[in-house]
Structure 1
Amino acid sequence: MTLYWHPYLAELLRQDYGNRLDIEEEVSLGDMPLRADLLLIRRDPEIALPFPFSLLGERTLVEYKSPDDAATHDDLVRLEIYGLLYAQREGLPSRQSLTLWLLASHFRQQVSRPDGAHLAEAQAMGSSVTLGSLDGFPTCLINLSQLPIAPEALPLLLVSKGPKERELASFLVEHFQEYPQHLQWLQELHVQQLQEVLAMKKLTPEQIGLDFEALLALIGKERALDLIGKEQALDFIGKEQALDLIGKEQALDLIDQDQVLENLLRRQGEQWLREQLERRSQPSDEPESE
């Protein structure tokens, strides 16, 4: 099942910055069916914002690439067109009045090209942000997968994939009492990394305030098991719930594998495992005919 990441970005921004930014989705850019992903409007330009939101203009058009897509030169061309259309529609006095952002977890080489859409006067701010001017518009290219792990950047980090996913999951697990809402987003968007961190820290979802049943209701059993893996599910959700979820026959296959069997025996004991499998192997009504 395809996961549409754009609404998550909008909701995370509303959750963390809704008191400082007006956030509009799918902003119409004229009579043609062209829509920018987001428009961010600072409620009070005099109030300081943390990095990287400190790079927002009074108005900022945002083009966001989902984590499995890479930003290309075509995306920079599209962003430039969106900026021109919006500035014309709104009658902005200067292109300096509108900032453009291109957000992606991955950037292809030569996103900016001298013979096409060109980011002039480009300067890097660390490995995550490149600033410049695109046809007169102040522009930021933000590599989400390279952003430092910080509370202020959580809305962007949570809609990214890359080398810092495990670090993000670890941060939110360690600070679960401070960021319970973000932890819920992590459970939905980065299940595999959450599971790995919990296993490494020898924690259960319940110990950090998570409800696996809520995840099942939200994204469905099949997707949850695809994300977590059936072997890990035995250890992740534990006890009777795991066997009910996976099914007796699959569980019997799984426990032939040493690691899973070891985990179950360590956590529940041999007697418990025998009782659960025997209970599930008994017919509910009449014995099956041969």
Structure 2
Amino acid sequence: RPAPPSPFLFARPAMRQRDLACHATADATTAPAPASTPDLTFYMKGSPEGKMLDCPFAHFAQLVLAHKGAPYTLVPTSPCTKPDWLLNDHEGKLPCLVTEDRATGARTVTTDSMAIAKYIDAELFPDVCPLAGAGYEEALQAVSPFFGAMAGFVKNNDPALDPEKEKALQEALDAVERRLQAQTGPYLCGETLTLADLSLVPKLYHAVIALRRFKNLDIYPFFLPRSEGLYVGESAEQLAARVRAAQSRPRLEEYMQAQFESKEFLDEQCFCAWEIVAQGWGKARGD
């Protein structure tokens, strides 16, 4: 399946050889799912017309599926199109993964993105690109303040509170940088890609877009949409300023560069266009 065009133009330093080698290893471990795979149906946030909307938690689970090479049916679901069984038996929670055994017809329903990710990794495809590497839970804990701090800042509409909320965000980003600086490899757990990485990366993607769109703050300078939007009319001086800002967290910049350009991240079944992400955060702000 061809990937959509990357929204990240190649106007920045090349990846380190270490990162390239690690990506080659990761690609080698991503194999097609076994023939005995059950039928998978993934329900996620969608429009009434059935179009996929922004959800970093669904994106996390989809990245796990992509790294496993697992085929699945995607069902974007709005509040008015949720099936009765989801509403009655699972409180309408999304995302939701339904597995159905092809031989017996037995169904398993799993909600909550982390529960889905662990189920895919440990129960469905334990031998394909294992993602529960040593230390991943500690890594999750180390970077967990980031998303809440980012969301609190983006959704804040009181300018007087912005400095306090931005400070919390910057401290959370510094914690991510420290975690990466402490590793010998390119991931949150060193040389091994884990669930911690796949949970964090969609949240970083949302942050890059929402912070630039609503707070005029850049944490990654190379997000340059090809269509009109976030950087219309930007001068060379403004671009240079964004580059300098990102260089204050060099490992985080490298990390985002590598992950945002991976074939799994850009898989057309799970990649969410930046315009949709921006629109979603606009609604969250009440704009």
Q: TM-score range by the shorter chain?
A: under 0.3
State the TM-score, normalized to the length of structure 2: 0.27
Question: Higher Cα Rg: structure 1 or 2?
Answer: 1
**Larger strand share, 1 or 2:** 1
State the TM-score, normalized to the length of structure 1: 0.26
